[in-house]
Structure 1
């Protein structure tokens, strides 16, 4: 896209934003129970519109070159992203459910399910790559200190010759086993061919043999020609990507090259802008600074005189934390433009602010009560944000590669609704822990494991649990964004601890965990995520008080299972063939979790089976045996989890809403029946 195209996109996005802002006041009006559905529809429509606007602003910010315009776009991008999160929170309150059905809204707005995906701002990864590299270096050094020391007497010391001979023996044994397996297969095939020959099967004359070969060959050519024609047709109608590789001068390559060039120009223009900022500020401070100072003195003096004439006493000078003398001129706001004069106006405000602060009488700011630090000295350099070499933490952190989620931005996180903790509930194999790792990957967050199994034997004693939680949350704040994970979260809130787990003492961090969560403020990018498949054995009150949001993960439906089968098989390097019916696999795997599907695929697609694909195509029936050996999610287990969820605070509200709707529907039907 050219600069003119991005300018047109900016103009249309600006108009869309104005229209959305005009619709905002309508959401603040109170609605009756009858208007609940129409309110939910308006809220869902607004949510989808803001998602589309977020994509537009992300594209514009990624490719715009003008520095001042990019600063405005960055504020708009973060604000729109924050509004998306707020609307999602409003949808939860309106639907009384964490999941929403937006099919009707998508259909009315002529959108596709792809438009429901929350876009990941590109600047997350581009701007935080250096920060992540530094943090990865710190974590590597931290983890190196945690490696256990291996005593010299633990393993026998071998000479170089002895070690080589040992490796050679192991390699010969491995090759011998493989050779024996291959020879066994060859002997079986020879035996089978010998039996066929002895029984007299497939005895053809020369002409019959030639005709049979011709039939097979012509059938193969025709199937190949038909498959190629079908692919060509699908490419033509846009259902498949083009098979021809894009050349260096192709459209995609040119677009990618143009995007990279614009990013380079962004860096150049930003450097020029920063130099202009410094020069303009110095110029204003030297040339206009003395006159501005005298003018401010006169304005402040006049303000004091006017206040004394009105109230009979001189007012207190505004505190520096409130902006100093800038409160006196609060009605003056800087305008936004895109030229050098605007830059001067903005920097003039900065110079005026500096002069106001210099003129303020010295006052000591009030002391704010701080959280009690249990480790002021024991953490050493970790205790202050200026530290560069943090000491070992009690739980092993894991650095994630790239930041790619809305909550990874400090600005968005500060403005968005504060969510301190989430509980993921679902049967085993649903991918709950995978979701936690995905959050770490997308946000560039560090991973701390506070699972009861991982804490056994660490920080023992009466105050050990308190110290453990304190240290983990302190390190998590220092290395934020951070994710604190508790696997088997029900154990921390056991109704009754099983005898075999009494030594583990899974409930020892229960009270301290709740206290630590309350101390998290909107500026702390730290979140607690718990996962459980047996929430019924935990205390409902304590569990719901600790975890603000509870998400029930249902077993995958047909569409999800189809995508899982296809994606996991293709991930093994196998392309779909006419012998492999993914739809049939999705149907017969009803009730099985994603973990079960993955286990069945790994059991079939071994290294040896992958080598045989060229001679023996993959069949659908091969997956049925391994899948049948695994346990599905039985209906009783699923119903038990649903019954538990409807006992949570949000689940109770949802259940009451459904009952009220059913009662209203029955009353309406009875009224209509009475009229008839």
Structure 2
């Protein structure tokens, strides 16, 4: 896997690194094709690197592989941003590129690194235990709160007597019905005059039933053998967990243990080798450095006639002096550095007045460049340098080593640690020697000046120039004396911090959109598949929350709104984000916040507590259910008492205080976003993902998964295709409720004798409310008013206007 990833990385780095040499592309279709190819190739590299990092046990390779993996994931986010800006859509269809690269739709899935949870397993377990203890302490009081008044004894006796009379009446009615049935049989037998069947006829009847039962069993067995022979079914002995699967699971557990053991050995070796290097090589390093600095003092004294100024620690100290330069060159560089520092403050005032004309000149220059270089071009990347450095580092260290003989067990390499620690020890010793040599240089100056009769005043230490500017806005800490644990417990007791159910992103089942490219070429906007929704959630939420390195350099994103009809899995996606990243879930839904922390000061305290704890316990997800209520155009009468617009002003302000590297994400869900003020809603939520109803392929897969998950058995009598067609217009939530209602305990017990049929699920599905076309049209109309939707409308309008004059000119010529 690493060799394949290495070859692919070499090709892509050779293609992408000379950014200046790339020519702009004028054809948008060709530019999208190149972007999609890059995106899919990086996805394949990320999948291989994730497997290498997860399965590797060498403690010095895994950090380099992780840096490479983080860089590739960050590059995926940059390419995703390019695709959005190009197509003005959050969903992209690359089926034609998949076909060219000979990939399957499953290869398009963005990998979620397993180290997101494995490296924080202990912290997550402790937090879950703390949350469970707090909830257990709260549960009894909640259960005892709704105390019901005791029933009078006479009324309870009357109820019991009435129930007993009804029971006896039902038994008596059943008994009388059986008597009447037997009497009717006897009467019919007397009237017909038929004799009792003889022994031979009874034997024939029993043989018929028995032979039919045996033949049905043999037919079923023969069909099972035939399906096994053609490879469509597993053999009965292989239906359970196979020995290979069990061995693979044991191997994975053993590998986790080896990773932990080797990492502990590596950390211990870092300390021990560092101490050994400091004790053995430290004194010689110190003396050698002192001799070099003294020699430099003498050379400068001989050439310039005076002792030089020792470089400041901010510039680099004595490390500046040993860059293979002469004393005159070093002295000139130090003087230039000091002059630049002094002139910075003087130039600031002059530059303030020239900022406006400079901006105009830059704009003109940009316009000229855009006129000269018409076309589409990739914007510069922040991750390519990190990818290249990690690739070069891994290749230089490990590509030429034959580890089959030298280090087959993949333990740490002591020589690499020693070379690394020698540099660290040298840097530490250099700082110590610099302090000593500054004092020695001062003493030399004093001694020489006394001999010459010139006593100079000791040089005042230079103050580092502090930049004057506007103070950055900082949030005032309303709880400076309280610990994070106490704030966490308070939010749990108020129901703000909740325990999300464990839901994997893969549980949001569905299929790939196979006709996306063809439909877009025909200027028909296809319905996004659940695979597209999953990919966006992984890119926008999970990768950013899971990796600090990705979050630091990725395009900034603080909030996402999931909008779609009810039952399409918006809340499930929020829980999946928390499960995949181990994030804390803060519920700031208007219904949950109602009545808590009343008043203006209470609201400020609530927002402060939530964001303070969220930043302290990163990653964190702040969920706002029914997000449209916070930005209502007009509050309904029945909801005025709840005050759903409490967070309208404070929530965006708190978001603005988040730093770029904070792994805190605001996730909103809304089924009726058209009830909210569009400007205010889009200002609070930077990305808006429209989640549609499932298409035929997604419904087919969802029916299969739900029936099997709840104990059902898929047989030939159950037509899943018909179910998927008939259930058009229903959401995944409606399908789930229909399956739960149909597969009761009694029905599951009857499965061996009576297989499932589609009609059973349709009866339950008919009780659900479908997604009406009018509701979908309202959501689509609302989406066109969002910033991205308006940009797309403007682009389509420009295309239409550009095409109109050509048609008019042709008509005139005719």
Report the TM-score, using the length of structure 1 for normalisation.
Answer: 0.81
Are residues 1:251 and 2:244 paired? yes
Are residues 1:343 and 2:417 paired? yes
Structure 1 CA distance for aligned equivalents of residues 811 and 69 of structure 2: 54
Q: Does the CA contact (< 8 Å) of 1:395 and 1:472 recur in 2?
A: no
Structure 1 CA distance for aligned equivalents of residues 49 and 264 of structure 2: 23
Structure 1 CA distance for aligned equivalents of residues 504 and 593 of structure 2: 28
Are residues 1:611 and 2:749 paired? yes
Counterpart pick for 1:376 among 462, 479, 486: 479
Q: Look up the match of 1:131.
A: 123
3-state secondary structure, aligned to 1:422: strand
Q: Give 1:116 shift.
A: 1.4
Q: Give 1:517 shift.
A: 0.7
Q: Look up the match of 1:3.
A: none
Are residues 1:491 and 2:622 paired? no
Q: Look up the match of 1:85.
A: 77
Q: Look up the match of 2:285.
A: 292
Structure 2 CA distance for aligned equivalents of residues 555 and 185 of structure 1: 53
Q: Look up the match of 2:657.
A: 519
Structure 2 CA distance for aligned equivalents of residues 265 and 30 of structure 1: 49
Structure 1 CA distance for aligned equivalents of residues 241 and 726 of structure 2: 45
Q: Look up the match of 2:262.
A: 269
Q: Does the CA contact (< 8 Å) of 2:620 and 2:665 recur in 1?
A: yes
Q: Give 1:270 shift.
A: 2.6
Structure 2 CA distance for aligned equivalents of residues 580 and 39 of structure 1: 46
Q: Does the CA contact (< 8 Å) of 2:487 and 2:613 recur in 1?
A: no
Are residues 1:24 and 2:98 paired? no
Counterpart pick for 2:216 among 195, 215, 220: 220
> Where does 1:89-238 land on structure 2 (aligned, <5 Å)?
89-143=81-135, 149=141, 209=205, 213=209, 216-217=212-213, 220-221=216-217, 223-234=219-230, 236=231
Moved more, 54-63 or 142-151: 142-151
Report the TM-score, using the length of structure 2 for normalisation.
Answer: 0.68
3-state secondary structure, aligned to 2:751: coil
Are residues 1:70 and 2:62 paired? yes
Q: Give 1:630 shift.
A: 2.1
> Where does 1:382-421 land on structure 2 (aligned, <5 Å)?
382=484, 390-393=488-491, 394-399=494-499, 405-406=542-543, 407-421=545-559
Q: Give 1:315 shift.
A: 8.4
Structure 1 CA distance for aligned equivalents of residues 176 and 237 of structure 2: 40
Quickly say closer, same or farther: Cα 1:507–1:316, change in 2 above 3 A. Answer: farther
3-state secondary structure, aligned to 1:503: helix
3-state secondary structure, aligned to 1:462: helix
Counterpart pick for 2:578 among 429, 434, 440: 440
| RCO comparison, higher one (Cα < 8 Å, 6+) | 2
Q: Look up the match of 1:555.
A: 693
Quickly say closer, same or farther: Cα 1:12–1:142, change in 2 above 3 A. Answer: same
Counterpart pick for 2:710 among 572, 587, 593: 572
Quickly say closer, same or farther: Cα 1:471–1:23, change in 2 above 3 A. Answer: same
3-state secondary structure, aligned to 1:447: strand
3-state secondary structure, aligned to 1:337: helix
Quickly say closer, same or farther: Cα 1:265–1:455, change in 2 above 3 A. Answer: closer
Q: Give 1:597 shift.
A: 1.3
> Where does 1:642-661 land on structure 2 (aligned, <5 Å)?
642-660=780-798
> Where does 1:292-311 land on structure 2 (aligned, <5 Å)?
292-296=285-289
Q: Give 1:251 shift.
A: 3.5
Structure 2 CA distance for aligned equivalents of residues 661 and 418 of structure 1: 31
Q: Does the CA contact (< 8 Å) of 2:54 and 2:114 recur in 1?
A: yes
Quickly say closer, same or farther: Cα 1:591–1:246, change in 2 above 3 A. Answer: closer
Q: Look up the match of 1:52.
A: 44
List per-residue Cα deviations over 1:605-647 (Å, max 9, x = no partner): 2223223333332221122222223221111110110111111
List per-residue Cα deviations over 1:421-461 (Å, max 9, x = no partner): 00000011111111111111111111111011111111211
Moved more, 280-289 or 401-410: 401-410
Moved more, 397-406 or 531-540: 397-406
Moved more, 148-157 or 466-475: 148-157
Structure 2 CA distance for aligned equivalents of residues 242 and 526 of structure 1: 49
Q: Look up the match of 2:401.
A: none
Q: Give 1:26 shift.
A: 7.4
Structure 1 CA distance for aligned equivalents of residues 720 and 768 of structure 2: 19
Which of the pair has more CA radius of gyration? Answer: 2
Q: Does the CA contact (< 8 Å) of 2:561 and 2:668 recur in 1?
A: yes
Structure 2 CA distance for aligned equivalents of residues 221 and 499 of structure 1: 65
Structure 1 CA distance for aligned equivalents of residues 643 and 415 of structure 2: 67
Please, which runs of 5 or more residues in structure 2 have no aligned partner?
325-388, 399-412, 436-460, 506-541
Q: Give 1:153 shift.
A: 10
Are residues 1:641 and 2:743 paired? no
Quickly say closer, same or farther: Cα 1:208–1:555, change in 2 above 3 A. Answer: same
> Where does 1:418-433 land on structure 2 (aligned, <5 Å)?
418-433=556-571
Q: Look up the match of 1:317.
A: 312
Q: Does the CA contact (< 8 Å) of 2:607 and 2:650 recur in 1?
A: yes
Are residues 1:464 and 2:456 paired? no
Q: Look up the match of 2:592.
A: 454
